Structure 1
Amino acid sequence: MLNTMMMLALSSAAAAASILGSNPTQGGACEAGTGQRVMVTVRGLKGATGMVRIQLYDGPGFLKKGTWLSRVEAKANRSEMTMCIAAPRPGQYAIAVRHDANGNGKSDWNDGGGFSRDPKLSLLNLKPSFDKVVIPVHAGTTNVLVTMNYRQGLSIGPVD
């Protein structure tokens, strides 16, 4: 019973994220007057396959497993997507984006990643510090642009 309820909740969340991915003005977190929200435009996706996941973090939990504050996920459907993610209150946050290019739910070398404020990444520095990616989120809508980075030989960067 619990597994069925969990699957229904996950299905509903995925459906809502898909709606936001194709029409960012729809969905609870993005409706006017519903608190703080971050409208994230993800550009430079390598292909329209797999899944795109956006996570919102605060400073203490930044990139620690299971510590994200909000999360949305949608099927990749073009090279640029806009999705909305809720913030619990105005404050300082970071956005992390992952493109699971083959949709297998595992981290592979072909997957892409990006962060708010587009920090420079390298094979030796795949996880920037919170202070390099922090953005202020105010009441209402905050717009953020994230450029995806992918492994290209021995370097990491946007797709050419």
Structure 2
Amino acid sequence: MTGFLPSARLPERKSPALLPVVVTGLALAGLVAAPLAAQPFTYARTAPNDMSQCAPGKGPAVRVVVSGLKSSAGNLFVRAYPANSRDWLESKRYIMRVDVKPQAGSVTVCVPLPATGDFAIAVHHDVNGNRKSDLSDGAGMSNNPGIKKILGLVPRPPSVDKVRFNAGSGVTRMAISMQYM
């Protein structure tokens, strides 16, 4: 008895020159199949608050409910950053910014993302509308970490490890609570 499967003969290997071609092809296929999150991003992009981008079946995107807004004054900036310490909260190193008019209480924002992967969200309520960070402004971040204060005055942002989240191919939902001085 020879076993359960019929015996098969493998073809003779007559061309060893094909091996480097096959290996090179497999290596290139691996590079092409690299995850999008590992590829470089275009920085400082802006998008409108288009909630259709956060509809079922869409993405990658983040649907953010920002709560605890003190007033409807000023501007609200929602920024998505790559989740690394090199880019986190650095000027013009966000990959997407959505600007909306704040509403006292809460507002919902859709942030489209360029790919799946690890990101961090920062929300800035520029209360007086001067496009600068002031002591009257509010802030919030993904995962809602506490914002530490140095000597009780100047807020110290959390590390990117505390605000990192993974966005899949669909719509990631999150709630961010604003914090004010």
Tell me the TM-score normalized by structure 1.
Answer: 0.75
Contact 2:58–2:171 (8 Å) recurs in 1: no
Q: Does 1:90 align with 2:120?
A: no
TM-score, with length taken from structure 2 = 0.67
**1:94-113 paired onto structure 2 within 5 Å:** 94-113=120-139
Q: Which runs of 5+ in 2 are unaligned?
A: 1-45
Task: Decide whether the 8 Å contact of 2:148 with 2:158 is kept in 1.
Answer: no
Aligned residues: 130
Identify which of 40, 53, 67 aligns with 1:43. Answer: 67
The percent of aligned pairs where both chains have the same amino acid is 35
When the two chains are superposed, the root-mean-square deviation of aligned CA atoms in Å is 1.7
Give, in whole Å, the separation in 2 of the partners of 1:100 and 1:73. 11
Counterpart in the other structure of 1:7: none
Flag the structure with larger Rg.
2
Residue 139 in 1 paired to residue 169 in 2? yes
- Residue segments in structure 1 that go unaligned for 5+ positions in a row: 1-12, 152-160
1:6-45 aligned within 5 A: 16-17=48-49, 20=50, 25-26=51-52, 29-45=53-69
Using the TM superposition, give the Cα deviation of residue 79 of structure 1 relative to its aligned residue in structure 2, in angstroms.
1.2
The letter of the residue matching 1:30 is C
Worse overlay, 36-45 or 75-84: 75-84
1:122 aligns with 2:152: no
After superposing on structure 2, the runs of 4+ consecutive aligned residues of structure 1 that deviate more than 6 Å are none
* CA drift at 1:72: 0.2
The corresponding residue for 1:61 is 87
* Cα displacement (A) at 1:48: 1.4
Q: Following the alignment from structure 2 to structure 1, what is the Cα–Cα distance between the partners of residues 142 and 128?
A: 23
